[in-house]
Amino acid sequence: MKRKYLAFDIEIAQRLPEGERDWKTIRPLGITCAATLTGDADEPSLWYSLTGDDHPADRMSQQDAVNLVRYLVKMANDRYTILTWNGLGFDFDILAEESGMEEECKQLAIAHVDMMFHVFCTLGYPIALDRAAKGMGLAGKPKGMSGALAPRLWAEGKRQKVLDYVAQDVRTTLELAQICEKRRHLHWITRRGSTGRMALPSGWVTVHEALKLPQPDTSWMSNPWPRSKFSAWLD
């Protein structure tokens, strides 16, 4: 039976210091905004807290993070499959901390489809969403925008630009899942500019299923990442 997908993405508040690549060293990160999009909706739903004069607040409050978790739980119970790109190792981990609903977020994370984690478990290395989108002929991310840039823009007051960015990310996530399942493969643009290919004979799998996939050959890599890099917080 064809899945009913709900794409989900968050943007963080904390900026990584220059040269720092491990966001876990500067937790808590805070959430500025999030977006969700179902396959039967015309536009994404945007999630953020409001100031007293109804402008987007600096960070999402714990109560609003709780409301987001409760919404995702409800939709999962209504048989929507939550869909992300790196949601296991990033979005759900952070949402668990910000909401305080760790067990609910763990259950959501293990049952959802994280396309990037599926790719990682199959190939042994991750792929960027934008490279995957471009490889499948999709528009991808807005030019000049990235998740690393979003916290700075939000802090500078350019909040609509960040909201537009997170909305585009969930559109891309949903479109990518659908087109890959239709064509039964993923194409992406490699760093060398060539095209990579991964077969998807049975479509995307959940995190629970991806963890059971055979370990790929990473003997050619000098320092391959273990799956626990993304999943350790579930333990």
* Domain annotation covers residue 191: yes
* Domain annotation covers residue 173: yes
Helix axes 62-77, 102-111, angle to 10 degrees: 40
User: Domain of 79?
Assistant: 4-229
Total count of domains within the chain: 1
* Domain annotation covers residue 181: yes
**What is the structure's pLDDT at 174?**
97
Structure confidence by residue, pLDDT tens digits, 76-127? 999 999 999 999 999 999 999 999 999 999 999 999 999 999 999 999 999 9
* Domain annotation covers residue 206: yes
pTM of the model: 0.95
CATH number at residue 110: 3.30.420.10
Q: Which long-range contacts (CB under 8 A, 24 or more apart) does 39-42 make?
A: 39/4, 39/5, 39/6, 39/174, 39/178, 40/4
* Domain annotation covers residue 30: yes
Residue 65, φ and ψ in degrees, nearest 5: -65, -40
The 3-class SS string of 79-94 reads CEEEEECCHHHHHHHH
* Domain annotation covers residue 234: no
* Domain annotation covers residue 171: yes
Structure tokens at 101: 């609903």
Structure tokens at 61: 């409050």
**What is the structure's pLDDT at 1?**
57
Helix axes 102-111, 92-99, angle to 10 degrees: 160
Residue 156 to residue 60: CA distance in whole angstroms:
16
* Domain annotation covers residue 235: no
Residue 124 to residue 118: CA distance in whole angstroms:
10
Q: Tens-digit pLDDT profile for the chain (235 aa)?
A: 579 999 999 999 998 877 767 778 888 999 999 999 999 999 999 999 999 999 999 999 999 999 999 999 999 999 999 999 999 999 999 999 999 999 999 999 999 999 999 999 999 999 999 999 999 999 888 877 788 889 999 999 999 999 999 999 999 999 999 999 999 999 999 999 999 999 999 999 999 999 999 999 999 999 999 999 999 999 9
